[in-house]
Each structure stands twice: as C-alpha cells, then as structure tokens.
Amino acid sequence: MRVLVTGGAGFIGSNVVDVAIDKGWSVKIIDNLSTGFESNINSKCEFINADICDYNSIEGHFKGIDIVFHLAALPRVQPSIDDPLPYNKVNIEGTLSVLDACKNHGVKKIIFSSSSSVYGECGDEPVSEEYRKEPLSPYALQKLVCEEYFKLYFKLFGISSVCLRYFNVYGKRQPEIGSYVPVVGIFFKQFREGKSLTVTGDGKQARDFVNVLDVADANIKAAETDLIGYNYFNVGAGKNYKIIDIAKKVCYNIEHIEKRIEPKNTIADIEKIRNVLGWKCQIDLMEWIGENKD
C-alpha cells in the first residue's frame, strides 16, 4: 500500500503514520510544520515540507498513491472565531487542493479527519451520524463544507471517501503549548509545572474522549475497507467524563475559572463504526491518565 498523509507531522497525523509504517506500507508525508513538529516525523517515511494550499508544490507527490489520509488543517474552535480567514484558506481551499491532486493522479480513496463539532450543541444523549448539523464556529462549518466536497467529488470523479468525525482526542504527542490546546494536555502541563489545574465553571460539563491510538486505528480500518462513495463515522469512546473528575484524576490542586459558552455534554453513538468497520475504542481515559501523568 502506497499512502500519503497530509499533516503527518502533527499530533494525530504522526500517530497514523506510525501505524501505517508498522503495517509495512510505503508512507509519504506532506506537512509545512506550521502546527506539526519535525521531531514527530517517522524516519522510515518520505517527508515533503510543503503547504497544501500551494497546489503546484504538492500536486506531483500524489502520483502513484493508493490512499490519502487528509489530516492537515488549522485546528480548534475559538481561534477560528477570532481569525476566520486563514482557517478558511487552509481548511477549505487546502482540502480542495488535495482533492484536485487526487483527481489528477487517479487516487481513488481519501480518509478525512472531520470533527464532531459539525453537530453543534449535542444535548445529553449519544449523538448519531444522522444528528442535525448546526456548526457553531468557522472551524466546524469548514469541516462540514469539506465533507460536502468529498460527496461531490465522488459523484463527479469517482473518488471515495471516509470522513471520521473525531470527538475529543488525547494521548501520545498531544499538544500542550499554545492557546486553546485540548484540556488533557493543559492539565498534564499544569501538573508537571506544579500549577493549579484550571477548570472552567463548575467543571460538570462532560466530554467524550478518545485516545489518539484508537483514532489511528480507525484511520487504518477506514483505509482497509472496500466501502465505495461518501462515508462518515463518529470516532469516540461512546461514554463521557466530567471535566472536574478528569482534573481530580490528575491532582486535587484545582482552580475554577470563568465559565465560557460551550456545549454542556458530548457523547458519541459509535454503533455505526463498530458494525461497519469493526472498530471500537480500546483505551479508557481514566486508566490512561493514571498510567501517564507522572
């Protein structure tokens, strides 16, 4: 299998690369290192330092590729609200650039890293893939627009896709530096530095957390499936934990900070991915924290 991973130097992308390498696949990475790190790059793959928005610099690297894992993006919700233009350029125009390169070189399948944020406010019950879509940020809307492009490119050019809607991803190489990094990364960094763990509001908001190794496994299973057309799956644990309970699992030095506007609860309905791809979450958040916080 000859695969190309956009964003392969990033948090999730580098873990996907490692699993693909372990399977004996030939792997090529395209990443401009704007959010990824050179230290994340597997030495057994070919690395191209390029921007997905620069079509001329990436197009030729799709020749001979069987499957593309498209993970390159500007991540996170709040920064996309604060500064939407660069997010739109990378997340939509960059995706279209990748799709067109696939079309021109006969790539027949793309695995896309989408987001549970496409659902918007979720309520208290598990959210299935058919739940209504009401994005609450430019980032969420951009992911949904990209999914529509994948649907269209199958109709027009026969390129199949599997869109994986991640819930809250944590684990190996998780971001810990910068604004709006995922909460598990924030807690680990604060704990190591001897600082109070900052919990917004009362911390009773609950989130579905999925380990990045499980996410990488979902990507591989999606690549190996013979599904045709536009396909989409939730990728989550199927259960959630309150933020205050996660903080207490790390330590009891906790500081409550001002509440912000955010969903009260998120939880994925994962029956579809379990039944169709044979995937399920293997790693429990609380057990992982206990094993990795020191």
3-class secondary structure, 149? helix
CA-closest candidate to residue 174, choices 261, 285, 252, 277: 285
Give the neighbor-by-neighbor strand order of the sheet with 26-31. 46-49, 26-31, 2-6, 67-70, 109-115, 160-166, 230-235
Angle at 285 between CA 281 and CA 287, to 5 degrees: 110
Catalytic residue among 87, 119, 139, 241: 139
Instruction: State how far Cα 51 lies from the chain centre.
Output: 18
Residue 119 known to be catalytic = no
- Whole-Å CA distances, 32 to 18, 22, 51, 81, 89: 19, 24, 5, 23, 14
4 contacts 61 by C-beta, under 8 angstroms: yes
Phi-psi region of 209 (alpha: psi -120 to 50; beta: other; left: phi over 0): beta
Task: Name the amino acid, one letter, at 114.
Answer: S
Q: Report DSSP letters for 173-202, one per residue.
A: T---SSTT--HHHHHHHHHHTTPPEEEETT
CA-closest candidate to residue 111, choices 33, 25, 280, 225: 225
CA distance 146 to 52: 14
* Catalytic annotation, residues: 139
